[in-house]
Amino acid sequence: MTVHPVLRGLVPALALIVLAVAAPDDARAAAKKQSVKVGFIGPLTGGVSANGLGGRNSAELAVMERNENPDSKFLYEYVALDDECKPNIGVQVATKMAADRKVIGAVTHYCSAVALGTVDIYHRFGMPVIVWGAVQPDITYGNDYPEIMRICGTMINQNEEAAKFMRSQGYKKFAILHDTTDYGKSHKDFFIKYLTENGGEVLGVFGVTSEQQDFTAELTRIKALNPEVIYFGGLTPLGVRIRSQMDKLGINAQFEGVSGIKSDSFIEGLGKELAEGCLSFVEATPVEKLPDGQAFLKSYAAHNFAQGPEAYGPFAYAAMTQILSSIEKVGPDRKKVTAALNAVKDDNTLVGKVVYDDHGQNIVPIITKYVVQDGVWTIWEDSEYASGKRSLKK
């Protein structure tokens, strides 16, 4: 076979080019670690964005710390997307992230309605995720997907504790308001279940749409029912409007919210006076009280984030840490990481011991009760309400 002289000359030239490109690459690879992407999805804009930004920062902190550690095997690249707390947007960004094969795992969703809509996507793409803030039970219990894990508790625990606590404070008559998303409806269902089991009485149940502005009609009816407590199952923006309009109508009942209103923007939106005495229940231990909490807060402050970690930040941090540790252990492979996460038992994390059951649900729940005192969400046991100095509305 004869080779054309021009081509013959080309071969060594090509070889040289290949070498020229490859050689520095090899040299770089030795100095630089392989880059691996990990993701975060949460509401970064909109009414609950304070929580979303806290989660984003906390998860990013876990990635930063890992990258600062010289012993880590990979260089982690952090991708954060905004689901706006809207299921349709959530589905889009989840697909975008899952379709990017370089993203090995992600910490996803604060809003239950969004998480419920996206679990199928993660399963289809085989991407392991740990839910960091959405508490609707079906997210883990409504499917058998090994890819879906959840580090925070479910609203079942939260409402059981809330119902028992309210009864122990001597309240008997409740009016229930809830938003008509899966999140609000499930809160209502579980609260009513545990309330009636514990001898409470539900005077009326009112569903409201999640964009509603005016609640005077519902609240007027509630006022006529004369309840001791108005329970609201929903998120901060509606919570602010309802509490504010209760005042406008002169309703003097105790306001009880769920974990969805436990954010600083709730107090900011209402002002100190109206927020005073509002209750919320969260399936988390406050970060200051966690064994490693002080170290976390210190590191968080040292990394100069513009917003605070908020209630669920530590969950996002712990979840991201678990994903990173699994990647370190089994390498950047979605299937292997899923298996490694499923096998997690008695992992000591920032948020305490984590044990995933066969649905990927962390079954070590801790519920903390909060009351607003002087414009700050205060742990019930530390508040002047518990010590008897102040009292809730009767």
Interacting residues toward other proteins by CB under 8 A: 45-47, 49-50, 180, 204-209, 211, 213-214, 216-218, 220-221, 223-224, 226, 237, 240-241, 244-245, 248-250, 265, 268-271
Q: How far is 295 from 371, CA to CA, in rounded Å? A: 26
Minimum CB distance to other proteins, residue 160 (Å) = 25
Taking the least distance from each CB to other proteins, the nearer of 239 and 352 is 239
Determine contact, residues 370/280, Cβ cutoff 8 Å: yes
Return the number of the residue (47 or 332) whose C-beta is nearest other proteins. Answer: 47
Mind giving me the DSSP string for 230-259? EEEES-HHHHHHHHHHHHHTT--PEEE--G
| Cβ neighbours, 10 Å, residue 88 | 10
Phi, psi at 239, each rounded to 5°: -60, -45
Closest approach, Cβ 46 to other proteins, in A, equals 6
Whichever of 153 and 237 has its CB closer to other proteins, that residue is 237
With H, G, I as helix, E, B as strand and everything else as coil, classify residue 184.
helix
Strand partners of residue 354: 347
Shortest reach from residue 207's CB to other proteins, in Å: 3
Q: Rounded to the nearest whole angstrom, what is the least distance from the CB of residue 82 to other proteins in the complex?
A: 10
Contact residues for 119 (Cβ-Cβ < 8 A; gap 6+): 139, 142, 143, 145, 148
Distance CA 141, CA 143 (A): 6
- State in angstroms the smallest separation of the CB of 244 from other proteins: 5
185 Cβ neighbours under 8 A, 6+ residues apart = 178, 207, 233
Comparison of 63 and 93: residue with beta carbon closer to other proteins: 93
Q: Which is nearer to other proteins, 39 or 46 (CB)?
A: 46
- Integer Cα distance of 375 and 190 in angstroms: 29
Shortest gap between Cβ of 74 and other proteins (angstroms)?
34
Shortest Å, Cβ 264 to other proteins: 11
**Minimum distance between the CB of residue 228 and other proteins, rounded to whole angstroms?**
15
Q: How far apart are alpha carbons 129 and 119 in whole angstroms?
A: 9
User: How far, in Å, are 58, 63, 294 from residue 287 at the CA level?
Assistant: 12, 19, 8
Sheet of strand 376-379, all strands in order from the earlier edge strand to the far edge: 201-208, 173-179, 229-233, 254-256, 279-282, 368-373, 376-379
Secondary structure of residue 262 in the 3-state scheme: coil
Q: How far is the CB of 84 from other proteins (least distance, A)?
A: 8
Residue pair 296/349 in contact (Cβ under 8 Å)? The answer is no
Q: How far apart are CA 150 and CA 43, in angstroms?
A: 17
Q: How far is the CB of 226 from other proteins (least distance, A)?
A: 8
